[in-house]
Amino acid sequence: MGYANSAFDLLKRSGIPPYPQFYELLFTYATGVNPTLNNRINAIFRAGNTPSANLAETLYNEFLKSDVNDRMSAVSERMHARIDAVHEAIDGAMITANAYSGSLQTASGDLARDISPTAMKALADRLLAETRNMQETNASLEEKLEASRDDIASLQRDLDDVRRESLLDPLTKIANRKSFDEGMDTAIADAKITGDPLCLMIIDIDHFKNFNDSFGHQTGDQVLRLVAMTLKSNIKGKDLAARYGGEEFVAILPSTDLEGAIILAENIRKAIQAKELLKRSTNEKLGRITASFGLAAYRRGDTAGSLIERADRCLYAAKHAGRNKVFSENQLSELQSALPGVSAA
């Protein structure tokens, strides 16, 4: 808790947004477990430089950010090394066991013949020594297998962490396209079995390219994070928010009918519109952002592709109707019925 409070205090005093990666950076600094990182940050403070989100992101990328593929390779190498060690221990135990088995067979043949008391004592001593050797080998094997079990459990946790990271969008820290595709297949399979409603929401930030061109990609990235955080904070339970690509986001809404999805989308739309953007370096007001929404409900026989296609048509209709709107497939059907010549495809 002390480290956590120190990290939050540094975030507040520096005016750095409390995004997860920046908290992780300053929490690591507070613990002192990375001396190189601490030396760099201390040098920045001594030089009297004003910390900023850009500087924090640079430090995070340099010291803490790791590529998922690199981490997967490292875990794979550790797993191979541990498996090789287990094989080596088992091979050694098998050699000892085979030798012990041979000694027992030889002793059995000797005992079948009449042997002198002196030879019997020598045989017993030899078998006792080999039995002790076998016991020591088995004990060593048990220790190595126990260590391997602990290490493999640690590797499993690392693999779980890597898998979770592989399903997150690195910029917004919500689910990525891969995670969405898996979640969509699972949600449709569940809806087929249970008969519960299922809705899909597609969100597109209005005029995002113009915003990016006017204020720069870093500010555009902050807009993407803002929309992602707003979306994620408004869903709950089994709902899944994901970045679909570019400035598009999606939300899978199990056990939610179209009416409930419309209410949720309106709440998210208003929450996004209510936030005014400021450029921290100059306090310049950059205006407000808006987003358009398309909603579709699962129908018997739907695939992920067909459900996405209908939601996308609704999104196109919301854009065509002036943006900053929520459009459901019911509204699209009503519009097409009223104006037969209009197509949203």
* pLDDT tens, the chain, 345 aa long: 888 888 899 888 888 888 888 888 898 888 876 777 888 888 888 888 777 888 888 888 777 765 556 666 666 777 777 777 777 878 877 888 887 788 787 777 777 777 788 888 887 888 888 888 888 888 887 887 777 777 777 777 766 666 676 788 888 888 999 999 999 999 999 999 999 999 999 999 999 988 888 888 778 888 898 899 999 999 988 999 999 988 999 999 999 999 999 999 999 999 999 988 777 667 777 788 999 999 999 999 999 999 999 999 999 999 999 999 999 998 877 766 554 544 444
SS3 35: helix
* Cβ-proximal residues to 264 (8 Å cutoff; 6+ apart), any chain: 201, 234, 235, 253, 256
Q: What is the 3-state secondary structure (H, E, C) of 289-325?
A: CCEEEEEEECCCCCCHHHHHHHHHHHHHHHHHCCCCC
Q: Which two three-digit tokens encode residue 164?
A: 């979770």
Crossing angle between the packed helical segments 20-31 and 35-46, to the nearest 10 degrees: 100
Nearest to 180 by CA among 209, 201, 205: 201
What is the spatial distance between Cα 60 and Cα 9, in angstroms, rounded to a whole number?
A: 18
Q: Which two three-digit tokens encode residue 220?
A: 């555009």
pLDDT value, residue 126: 82
Catalytic residue status for 247: yes
Q: Nearest 5°: CA angle at 250, between 247 and 253?
A: 165
Is the pTM here over 0.85, yes or no?
Answer: no
* Cβ-proximal residues to 252 (8 Å cutoff; 6+ apart), any chain: 180, 183, 184, 187, 198, 200, 239, 240, 242
Q: Exactly one of 247, 248, 259, 266 is catalytic; which is it? A: 247
Q: Which two three-digit tokens encode residue 199?
A: 């809705």
Q: Which two three-digit tokens encode residue 309?
A: 């296609």
pLDDT value, residue 157: 73
pLDDT value, residue 344: 42
pLDDT value, residue 281: 66
Crossing angle between the packed helical segments 304-320 and 329-338, to the nearest 10 degrees: 60
Which DSSP letter does residue 174 get? S
289-324 pLDDT per residue, tens: 999 999 999 999 999 999 999 999 999 999 999 999
